[in-house]
Every structure is written in structure tokens, then in C-alpha cells.
């Protein structure tokens, strides 16, 4: 009986059903007035044209809650207020195991999570931060719930840009990642200015796609440099992506002819297009998804279609999540619709865009470097870690604090919205930040370590103790909301509230020498650690 909220919900649902003669969502919620509240009698009374207070009382007559609640009452216009018995709180805290009351799902799914997806030959920049950070939290959460998760890093590693770059490399394949970045800029300039270079670059793309040995060798060298850079970044970020998870656009090369011939395409100025139903352009005409360009080359749409089909048919995924910024929403909807019409994407398989807003600078515009260019992810992390180092002597702690701050700031903001990157705020020791939680965790741990007394079942008496116990028992419900929405601000907000509840508890209640309170304290540390772990944020033992 670890998820108390769900239990209350189930018991009330049964009582409501008995009274209403059909299913009613009791909508049990945490409340200020009691521990939990249901307002479902109000709506039901309206549709049954009866008195809500009397209806609520009738529901309670049918409800079996005595083993859970100390106080049960109808309040106001017809709310049902439930207060858990103190012994129930104590017992439930005591019985929590490693999973803190969160059960694994009954029917695990194979879920593909497509995240990070940087572009080869370029350094990772702030544009890949959110996909990488949120995607990794999604992976951790779904794995925690017992799903089989397949990470897919859909690298941009194919097409025209690589023709230019390889032509510019001209046989020198020893370039490092920042040199590749410069070479790429030079290549772009020449491509725009020199017709001969443009012609040769295009030829290179053809050679590349046809598997010309010399061209492939150069391309592989570029890829090797890029992979090393990406893996180093993932290592530093504490992100789970590994070499085996790289499935770049290039890996679908051999599939593309087949993909396009299986589609119902029409010709539009030499390009092969599909016009999925239900999409229109500004003038109300059909909207094309270009699957093969007029020069015969395949682009982003074709590789995404191939990737989707591979995920369904070979990886056997039933749920496919795309962690990509909002600007690519239409692209994805067109790809999904095309796959549906082609008969590849059919229930129970779902493809979902998990979109997010942009990272902004203090001026409220897209974050840019002082020189006006894109902000490299490595520089952004250096800045955060450098600022953290001002307060921390231990470089390992500074790294944990700085990286944690960047990730937490991202995850604690509403996923769908843009947010302003603010180093001062994200590294503040007060407020809803990871460093506040990291300190809280280390402090609770040290209390536990100092205590030599054995642990016991807590006796809940003081209001601060009660509040902490209720917070601890809310963890499963928060995990449920977070997994239903894949919005991690539910989890960050909860962890912050838990740390605050602990502070008040510690201020008012003497913990040392009290086995029950030590249990509360141990569970708090464990919950903070587990929660931060799901966010992919380190929780050092000592700070």
C-alpha cells in the first residue's frame, strides 16, 4: 500500500460508483483543509439534480476508509475531506522500500526515445541542450517504471553539408572538432561563391551516397572526430547516450530508395512529394512533404521516414518519442501522417512529439554569444562550473553543482515554454535550484550518518513531522503525473517542497536520538537522491 493517493482514489471511486450507478472520477487531490479532498460530489449532484452535501454523505456511507483515515467529513458545499490517521502515515513511511512506493508498470513497452541529435562536424551548441537533457530524464524515468527503452541519437551526418566539408578537407582528415567547425564555415563560403567548388561538392555527395571508397574514408574520419566530441560532452553532462545509441541519418542510406518507392508520391517540378491528408498551406492548398529532391538526393524527411519504419519494424517499438524543439512540429506531423497513410504506423504503435521551447538570453531573444554567434554547449557548461567553483574548493563538487544547475534550470521550467538562461538564478543557494537540493541532500545524509541510534517506525505527532511524512508519501503520485505528462517541473517542484518540509521538520523536531525521526530523515535523503537521479543530476554525499 505505498501509493496512498491512488488507494484513496480507488476506495472513493468504488463508493461513488455504488451511488451513481456508473463510473465517476473522484478526483482526489492534496488539500489545505485536510490531507486530501474530493470535489466530485459537486459535479455529480448537479447532473443528478440532488443536494451535493447529502450526496457526499451517501458516498461516505458506501466508502470503506476506516483503516486509512482518522477523520472523514463533508465540508462546505459538498467536498469530501480526508485526513489520514497518524499511525497510517508512520507505518507507510516505515514500510517504504528502495522504490519509495513507486511500482513498475504492469505492461512494459518498448519505447524508442529519439534525443540529442546533434549535427556531425560541428560542436554541440545550446540548441541541443534541451533535447539532450529532457530526453535523458525521459529515458531514466521510463526505465525506472520498467519499460524497455531504446535510445536513438539521430545524428545529422549525411547530405550536402558533408559533400562541401569533404571537398574542403581535401585529404587532410586529421582535423579536430573545432577545426572541422572552421573548415565547415570556409566550405560554406566557397560553396556560395565558387561555382567550381559547388559542382565538386555536389559530386562528392553523389560519391558519398554511392559508397566511393576515398570519399567514405574522409567522411568516416570526420565522423570519428565528431563522435569523440559528442561522447565527451555526454560524459560530462552525465547523459546516458553511448556509442551504440548513435543511429545517424547515414545509417538509413540503403533504405531510402525502398522507402520512397513504397510511398504514394506525386511529382512536383522533378521532386517526389507526398501530400498527407489534413494538411494545408497558407492558401488552403495541399502541403507537400518532399521525400526526394529534384536533384535525386534524399533529405531530412526521407531519413526520418526510414528511421520511423526501422523503429517500428526492426526495433519493435510501440511508443516512439521525439525530443525536438517546437519549430519542427509540422515536419514531424507530416512524417507521422505519411507513415500512417503508408500503413507503417498503426495502433497500438504511437509516435509522439515531445516538444520544448527555446533557451533565451537576458534580452529575451534566442541566446547568442557576445560575438553574436551560437553558444557552444561546452562554453556554457564551463561558465556554470566556473561560477560554482567560486563557492566550492573541490573540483568534483563544482562540476556536480555547475552541470546540475544547467540541467535543473532546464527541467524545472515549463517544457513547452521558452526560458531565459540566468546563471545567477540557477546557481542560487536559495530557492528552487539543484544546488539547494544537493545541499539539502548532503545535510540530511550527514544527520543520518551521525546518528548511531537504530531506526524505528515513526510516531507522527508534531505538525512539521506530519507534513514531511505526507510529502514523502506523495512521491508515487508525483512520478505518475510526471510520466503522464513528461513534464519534469512536477518533479522538481515536488523535490523543492520536500526539502523545504524537511527544513521545517529539522528546525522543530529533535532528530538525533529518535529512531522514528531518523527513519523520516533517511527516507528524505533517499527520495531526494532518487528524484535527482531521475533528473540525471548528481547528489554528492558530502558538500
CB closer to ligand ARG, 92 vs 338: 338
Q: How far apart are the first and last CA of the chain?
A: 35
Instruction: Answer yes or no: are the C-beta atoms of 25 and 40 closer than 8 Å.
Output: yes
Least distance in Å: CB of 119 to ligand ARG? Answer: 5
Q: How far is the CB of 245 from ligand ARG (least distance, A)?
A: 13
Place of cell 513507486: 102
**Collapsing DSSP states into helix, strand and coil, what is residue 262?**
coil
**E strand or H helix at 322:** strand 319-323
The DSSP secondary-structure symbol of 125 reads B
Per-residue CA distances from 396 to 376, 401, 539 (Å): 22, 9, 12
Which single residue is written with the C-alpha cell 503522464? Answer: 484
Sorted by sequence, the CB contacts under 8 Å of residue 529 that are 6+ apart come out as 441, 539
Alpha carbons within 13 angstroms on the beta-carbon side of residue 492 total 27
Residue 275 or 322: which CB sits closer to ligand ARG? 322
The nearest distance, CB 301 to ligand ARG, in angstroms, is 9
Buried b (16+ CB within 10 A) or exposed e, 380-415: bbeebbebbbeebeeeebbbbbbbbbbbbbbbbbeb
Q: How far apart are CA 536 and CA 251, in angstroms?
A: 28
Least Å distance, CB 324 to ligand ARG, is 5
Binding site for ligand ARG (CB under 6 A): 114, 117, 119, 154, 156, 304, 307, 322, 324
Q: Minimum Å distance from CB 302 to ligand ARG?
A: 11
Query: Looking at beta carbons, which residue is closest to ligand ARG?
Result: 117
We find the least distance from the C-beta atom of residue 154 to ligand ARG, in angstroms, to be 4
Instruction: Please name which of 101, 71, 145, 6 lies closest in space to residue 469, comparing C-alpha atoms.
Output: 101
The CB-of-159 to ligand ARG minimum distance in angstroms stands at: 11
Residues 6+ apart with CB under 8 A from 390: none
Residue (of 36, 35, 48, 34) closest to 9 by Cα position? 36
The distance of closest approach from Cβ of residue 209 to ligand ARG in the complex, given in angstroms and rounded to an integer, is 18
Assigned C-alpha cell, 527: 527520495
Nearer to ligand ARG, 154 or 443 (CB): 154
Rounded Cα–Cα distance for residues 471 and 488 (Å): 17
Rounded CA-CA distance 165/83 in Å is: 67
Complex with ligand ARG: residue 116 or 392, whichever CB lies closer: 116
Minimum CB separation of residue 81 from ligand ARG in Å reads: 48
Query: How is residue 259 written as a grid cell?
Result: 522507402
Amino acid at each position: 500500500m505505498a501509493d496512498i493517493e491512488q488507494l484513496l482514489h480507488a476506495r472513493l471511486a468504488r463508493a461513488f460508483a455504488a451511488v451513481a450507478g456508473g463510473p465517476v472520477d473522484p478526483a482526489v487531490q492534496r488539500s489545505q483543509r485536510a490531507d486530501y479532498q474530493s470535489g466530485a460530489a459537486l459535479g455529480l449532484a448537479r447532473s443528478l439534480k440532488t443536494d451535493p452535501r447529502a450526496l457526499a454523505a451517501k458516498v461516505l456511507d458506501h466508502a470503506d476508509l476506516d483503516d486509512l483515515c482518522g477523520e472523514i467529513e463533508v465540508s462546505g458545499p459538498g467536498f469530501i475531506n480526508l485526513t489520514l490517521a497518524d499511525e497510517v502515515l508512520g507505518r507507510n513511511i516505515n514500510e517504504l522500500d528502495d522504490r519509495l512506493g513507486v511500482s513498475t508498470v504492469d505492461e512494459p513497452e518498448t519505447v524508442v526515445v529519439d534525443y540529442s541529435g546533434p549535427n556531425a562536424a560541428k560542436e554541440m551548441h545550446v540548441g541541443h541542450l534541451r533535447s539532450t537533457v529532457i530526453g535523458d530524464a525521459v529515458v531514466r524515468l521510463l526505465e525506472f517504471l520498467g519499460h524497455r527503452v531504446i535510445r536513438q541519437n539521430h545524428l545529422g551526418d549525411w547530405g550536402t553539408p558533408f559533400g562541401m566539408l569533404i571537398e574542403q578537407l581535401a585529404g587532410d582528415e586529421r582535423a579536430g572538432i573545432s577545426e572541422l567547425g572552421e573548415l565547415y564555415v570556409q566550405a560554406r563560403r566557397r560553396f556560395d561563391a565558387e561555382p567550381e567548388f559547388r559542382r565538386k561538392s555536389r559530386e562528392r555527395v553523389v560519391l558519398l551516397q554511392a559508397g566511393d571508397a576515398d570519399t567514405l574514408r574522409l567522411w568516416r574520419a570526420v565522423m570519428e572526430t565528431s563522435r569523440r566530441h559528442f561522447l565527451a560532452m555526454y560524459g560530462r553532462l552525465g547523459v546516458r547516450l553511448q556509442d551504440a545509441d548513435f543511429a545517424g541519418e547515414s545509417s538509413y542510406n540503403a533504405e531510402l530508395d525502398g522507402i520512397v518507392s513504397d510511398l504514394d508520391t506525386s511529382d512536383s517540378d522533378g521532386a517526389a512529394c507526398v501530400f498527407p491528408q489534413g494538411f494545408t498551406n497558407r492558401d488552403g492548398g495541399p502541403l507537400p512533404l518532399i521525400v526526394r529532391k529534384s536533384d535525386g538526393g534524399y533529405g531530412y524527411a526521407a531519413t526520418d521516414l526510414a528511421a520511423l519504419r526501422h523503429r517500428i519494424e526492426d526495433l519493435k517499438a510501440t511508443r516512439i518519442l521525439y525530443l525536438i524543439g517546437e519549430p519542427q512540429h509540422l515536419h514531424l506531423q507530416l512524417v507521422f501522417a505519411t507513415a500512417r497513410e503508408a500503413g507503417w504506423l498503426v495502433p497500438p504503435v504511437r509516435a509522439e512529439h515531445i516538444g520544448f521551447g527555446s533557451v533565451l538570453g537576458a534580452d529575451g531573444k534566442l541566446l547568442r554569444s557576445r560575438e553574436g554567434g551560437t553558444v557552444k554547449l561546452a562554453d556554457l557548461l564551463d561558465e556554470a562550473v566556473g561560477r560554482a567553483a567560486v563557492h566550492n574548493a573541490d573540483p568534483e563538487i563544482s562540476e556536480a553543482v555547475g552541470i546540475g544547475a544547467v540541467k535543473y534550470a532546464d527541467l524545472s521550467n515549463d517544457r513547452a515554454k521558452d526560458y531565459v538562461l540566468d546563471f545567477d538564478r540557477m546557481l542560487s543557494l536559495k530557492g528552487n535550484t539543484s544546488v539547494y537540493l544537493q545541499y539539502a541532500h548532503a545535510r540530511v545524509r550527514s544527520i543520518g550518518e551521525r546518528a548511531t541510534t537504530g531506526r524505528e517506525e515513526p510516531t507522527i505527532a508534531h505538525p512539521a513531522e506530519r507534513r514531511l511524512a505526507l510529502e514523502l508519501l506523495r512521491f508515487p503520485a508525483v512520478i505518475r503525473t510526471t510520466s503522464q505528462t513528461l513534464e519534469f517541473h512536477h518533479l522538481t517542484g515536488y523535490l523543492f517542497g520536500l526539502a523545504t518540509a524537511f527544513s521545517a521538520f529539522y528546525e522543530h523536531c529533535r532528530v538525533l536520538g529518535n529512531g522514528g525521526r531518523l527513519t523520516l530523515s533517511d527516507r528524505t535523503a533517499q527520495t531526494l537522491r532518487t528524484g535527482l537521479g531521475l533528473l540525471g543530476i548528481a547528489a554528492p554525499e558530502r558538500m
